[in-house]
Structure 1
Amino acid sequence: MTLVSVVLPTHNRAGVLERSLNSVLHQTHYELELIVIDDGSADHTHEIVQRIASVDSRVRYITQPNAGAPAARNRGVSVARGEYLAFQDSDDAWEPEFLERLLPFVVGQGATVAFASHRLVTSSRAVVVPAAHQSFPRATLRRRNIASTQTVLMPRALAIDTPFDEGLQRFQDWELWLRMLRRDDIQFVHVHEPLVTLYRSADSISGGSAASRDRALHYILCKHRTVLQTDPIAMARLAARAYLRSFWWLKRVVARGGGDNGT
């Protein structure tokens, strides 16, 4: 069978961690390793992981000083043994068939990223993202992120070639997809089934202040302007979301051209 490495970073989420771990270990595709990267937790995370690891040898537990989720994911990728790679977060859950349903779209298909729809659950509502099947995911991904980290399956080699940006506190997954969009050989395939549930609470990494969100969007706009300039709608949406101060400033960013290294 195909070995899949699942990388799960965690930091002080002992209260919800076991649900996430079990959703990985109870997959119908049994041939997997679960790499838990404990990113400097100060709660009883180690007790939970070590208890589960004592009865399931597929669990690998690695601790490190707190460095943030992108660095923890990159650490997991660097030690993964599987040919294919998936990510899970410590407060979310997969349906049992998640890996089984996505694997046929990536095995033997070269540089292909498959992603499933997900349920986004907050204290006030639950929605499916994306709600409709995406026949051309590359076009949609330029405009908005429809592929959360926990919903993807990809070749490990691709994850090594394109690591997470460790300087970003928000939108690390979308920034990664935008980087992949620069390569014509990378394909994205959408599996239109809600196979993942994302739970959003006040302390989720996707929460945080409006200021941190705006800084991250500003950074992404500048770093990926070459990709975004090919789609005026994508540029306009991102600029509006980042609360850019003036149309003049936006024109100046677009006019710079050249490389994608500045902020």
Structure 2
Amino acid sequence: MPFFSIVIPTYNRAHLIVPTIQSVLAQDFPDFEILIIDDGSTDDTEEVIETVFGHHEKIYYIRKKNEERSIARNTGFHLAKGEYVVFFDSDDLLLPHYLTTLYEAIEKYPECNFFATKYQIATDGEVAMNEIKDLAEGFYDYRLLLKGSILGTMVCVKRQIPNFCPFPPEFNMCEDWIFNMLNLRENKIYLIDKVGITIVNHNTRSMANNQKAIEGRLKAMQFIKEKISFLPQEAKELTGYSYYFCATHSYIEGKRKQALIFWFKTIKNLGIQTSTILLFIKILIGKKLINKVRKR
């Protein structure tokens, strides 16, 4: 039985998945299996994986009908044999020490059911950190996620835990936020102050579609509110930052009227803050003009 099972759902990512798998195989912790859950790809994903990794003993390729990524992740979780399951995306990269870093934390806190490292974001060869970089190492619960999906799907889960909530099959946008919110209501996650993952930013990621991202965030917010009872201030924070997210994506797309509507809903819940003032100024000026000024 391997210690880790790495579950990688994929759909039409033949052009991206090879470096992802190679980054897992390059781990300095050897005790793992890789489960590639092909969610009915119509490109040459199967041929690419067979050609490059066909005889690798650690890799298991499972092809299924297209049911979207939440069900693909759940399928991988049910097929996993490892003591711990790592959810990973088919377009990102693990740093070589990632599994060792997790293992050391698990050995230190065996009572904990969820673990995560920090991550960096690579865009056109430039690597940067996100807001997670300033968080102290330690235990966190659902309150960490009131602003949004700061952890993403890059979490490590003990395979056999009570009251485990799988990925919501009806959601394929913000499903990571829902998954973490529901599970961290009853559990805590240990965040390790070490970067273990590189998220590769590209224009085919789901969040690149701004209107789809807005629709998904609003539906996820409503779903979470129906599933979890929040204190009044927690509910305001959850709602306010969801509208802030929507206002930001509206601004990025150049939809000023839509952005202002979401902005007013933001301040109704969060009040006037430096971040909301700056967003208001950006909305009024417009993204095109800001970009022109930056290019000068």
TM range (shorter): 0.7 to 0.9
Q: CA RMSD in A?
A: 2.5
- The answer to whether the 8 Å contact 2:2/2:81 transfers is no
Cα shift at 1:222: 1.6
Cα shift at 1:79: 0.7
Greater share of helix: 2
Q: Determine whether 1:140 maps to 2:144.
A: yes
Structure 1: gaps of 5 or more residues: 252-263
Q: Which residue of 1 aligns with 2:34?
A: 34
215-224 or 93-102, larger mean C-alpha shift: 215-224
- Give SS of 2:206's match: coil
Q: Determine whether 1:95 maps to 2:95.
A: yes
Alignment-mate amino acid for residue 95 of structure 1: L
Alignment-mate amino acid for residue 166 of structure 1: P
- For the structure 1 residues 202 and 113, does the alpha-carbon distance in structure 2 shift closer, same or farther, using more than 3 Å as the test? same
Q: Distance in 1 between matches of 2:167 and 2:81?
A: 18
Q: Which residue of 2 aligns with 1:80?
A: 80
Query: Bigger radius of gyration, 1 or 2?
Result: 2
Q: 1:149 aligns with which of 149, 153, 171?
A: 153
TM-score (norm 2): 0.75
- Give SS of 1:55's match: coil
Cα shift at 1:165: 1.1
- Give SS of 1:221's match: helix
- For the structure 1 residues 51 and 241, does the alpha-carbon distance in structure 2 shift closer, same or farther, using more than 3 Å as the test? same
Runs of 4+ displaced beyond 4 Å:
243-247
Q: Which residue of 1 aligns with 2:4?
A: 4
Q: Distance in 1 between matches of 2:172 and 2:212?
A: 8
Alignment-mate amino acid for residue 149 of structure 2: N
Cα shift at 1:104: 2.6
Q: Which residue of 1 aligns with 2:192?
A: 191
Structure 2: gaps of 5 or more residues: 248-260, 270-296
TM-score (norm 1): 0.83
Q: Distance in 2 between matches of 1:214 and 1:104?
A: 38
Q: Distance in 2 between matches of 1:96 and 1:201?
A: 22
**Alignment: residue pair count:** 245
> Taking every aligned residue pair, what percent have the same amino acid on both sides?
22
Q: Which residue of 2 aligns with 1:205?
A: 206
Q: Distance in 2 between matches of 1:52 and 1:230?
A: 52
Q: Determine whether 1:172 maps to 2:175.
A: yes
Cα shift at 1:160: 8.3
Q: Distance in 1 between matches of 2:151 and 2:106?
A: 15
Structure with bigger RCO (C-alpha 8 Å, 6+ apart): 1
Q: Which residue of 2 aligns with 1:119?
A: 120
80-89 or 225-234, larger mean C-alpha shift: 225-234
- For the structure 1 residues 50 and 195, does the alpha-carbon distance in structure 2 shift closer, same or farther, using more than 3 Å as the test? same
Alignment-mate amino acid for residue 132 of structure 1: D
- Give SS of 1:176's match: helix
